[in-house]
Structures are given as structure tokens and as C-alpha cells.
Amino acid sequence: MRWMLLLFIGMSLPALADLEYSLKPRLIAQDTWLLEGSTDNFAKGNGGNIVNTAFIVTERGVVVIDTGPSKRYGEAMRQAIAATTDKPVIEVLLTHHHPDHVLGNQAFTDVPIAALAGTTQLLRQQGDAMAENMYRLVGDWMRGTEVILPTRTLEPGVHSFGNHDLRVLSLGGHTGADLAILDQKTGVLFAGDLVFYQRALTTPNSPGLAVWLADIATLEGLPWTLIVPGHGPLATDARPFEQMRDYLGWLDQLMRDGAANGSDMAEMIRSPIPERFATINLSRYELIRSVSHLFPRYERAQMTRVDSTPDN
């Protein structure tokens, strides 16, 4: 029996040794480093590394923005930070509760992990189920990963970290509790998943597309110089906002028209996707998901109470 166990271990070690994120921080502004993920879906081939995380090397120490999709990612991020600077990590800021942004928290339990109160509540409610789903999607990359809740509630306003003043905004279009961060020193805007660029947006917790559109207007009005979306490439112009506004407006009108015309969900998920969105990755996949998440609300809005009577 023992030889079978040793054989199993021997066979699994090479596979586990291949599970390396090989994170390479890229300097995008003064003191500011990006770890850019792909715009693909979760898969065993990418270990869930589909997210943009970042860190800022301030006079006081390193501020981390999101910790990635797994314990292994968080540990790799910690190693990448140590290879970049000898300053200690002093705080983690979480943009929202989705698993690709927070399941690396285990690598940062020695520092405050800050988030909006709503983010902590959502992670407490949904974290275990999301982690289990990630195990199914990416397999061994998730070994040892557990949900670690934030330890500090972050309030909107300006938070000073030595020579970097970070303006924190509490918004809600993506999950109901979404953090955006503007570094007032560099003009870098960390938009979290309020902004997807060249990758179709996800809607499982969205309170409504109108809320999201209002958030886009708020972000676009800030004095930014560089946009870091939660998913997708950086931008120095307003094209991510334009794409988000266009896509959200189209999605909203599509479902309004579908509900008004009595279309069912099966018809909605087969809706043609406009040619202008052809370059946005996973458009069809996310349309199917968005219809399942949101279309019932549009249908309910079209319903008339059978017990209502016209005013006399």
C-alpha cells in the first residue's frame, strides 16, 4: 500500500511544480506596478489569473490592490513585491468580493486587509461557495486556499500613505459594494471591475445597469491620467469608459425590448451581438450569463398586477 502512495506522490509532484504564476510586475507610473492577467475565462491552464492586481511603493511601505484568485497567487504576488522593493507591505485594499480579487488574502494576513463594509458582508455570505466553484474551475491551483475576510472597514475619502494620497470611492454598479481608487499623486485610477476593457463584463451581483452607468460617469469625471480596469489592458484615454457605456446601454435596451416583446430567456441568449463588440472577449458567454442574472427583473417590470383596478 505504501508503494502506491509513494507512486501517487511522485506522479503528482511534477504537475504541482508546474503550477507557477510567474508574475512579472510592470511599472506603469511612478512607484506603481501592475500584474496584468489575461482576458480569458477561468481555466486550469491559467489558474484563474484573469485579473489585474497592483501595488504602490509609498514612502511608508507597499499598498496592495487586490490579492488574486488563490493562495498560490497571493504568495507569488508577495514574492514579486519582495523582488521589486525592500519596503514592507503595509496594507491591502480590496476593490470588491469576487473570488479572482480576494482569494489571495492568505498571503497577507500579517497586514490590515481593508474593504468596504458591503464587500466584507458579501464575502462572508458568498465566499465559501465562490471558493468551491473556483476549485472546480481551476483545480490544483486552488490547493490550500481558504476565504480570509477583510480586517478593516474602509471609508470613502482620501487616505494618505506617505507621499501617495489615495482617494477612495464607494460605488456599487458591479456588485453593490465596489471600491475605486484614484492615486492623486500619479493620476492612476484603479477602477476594479466597474471597468472591463476588451473583455465582456460580468453581472452576477449587479444591482442594475442604470447604477453601473452612473458609476461610469462618476469615474470618467475624475482627474485621472491612466485607467487600470479590473480586466483588460490599460488606457490613457477614455475608450474604456466609452466601451463600457456603449455595452451597458446596448445590454439594457436589449433586455428592455425583449421583455416588452414577450421574448423568453432562450430567445434572449441567442440575440445577435453588434459587430462593434466583436473584439470584446467572451461576449457571447457573458451575454448568456447576464440574461440569466438580469432578464427576470426586466420581465417583472413589464408585469401588471392582476388585482389592480383603474382609478375612477
13 burial type by CB count under 10 A (0-12 exposed, 13-18 middle, 19+ buried): exposed
If DSSP codes are grouped into helix, strand and coil, which group holds residue 153? strand
Average of per-residue pLDDT across 72-86: 98
Residues 220-266: pLDDT tens digits? 999 999 999 999 999 999 999 999 999 999 999 999 999 999 999 99
Residues 23-38: pLDDT tens digits? 999 999 999 999 999 9
Q: Most distant CA pair in the chain: distance in Å?
A: 86
% of the chain residues with pLDDT over 90: 89
Q: Is 296 a residue whose pLDDT tops 80?
A: yes
Q: Is 141 a residue whose pLDDT tops 90?
A: yes
Average of per-residue pLDDT across 105-125: 98
231 burial type by CB count under 10 A (0-12 exposed, 13-18 middle, 19+ buried): buried
Query: Which residue ranges form the domains of the chain, and what is each CATH number?
Result: 20-237 (3.60.15.10)
Q: Is 312 a residue whose pLDDT tops 50?
A: no
Q: Are 123 and 97 in contact (CB under 8 A)?
A: yes
Average of per-residue pLDDT across 147-168: 97
pLDDT at 278: 87
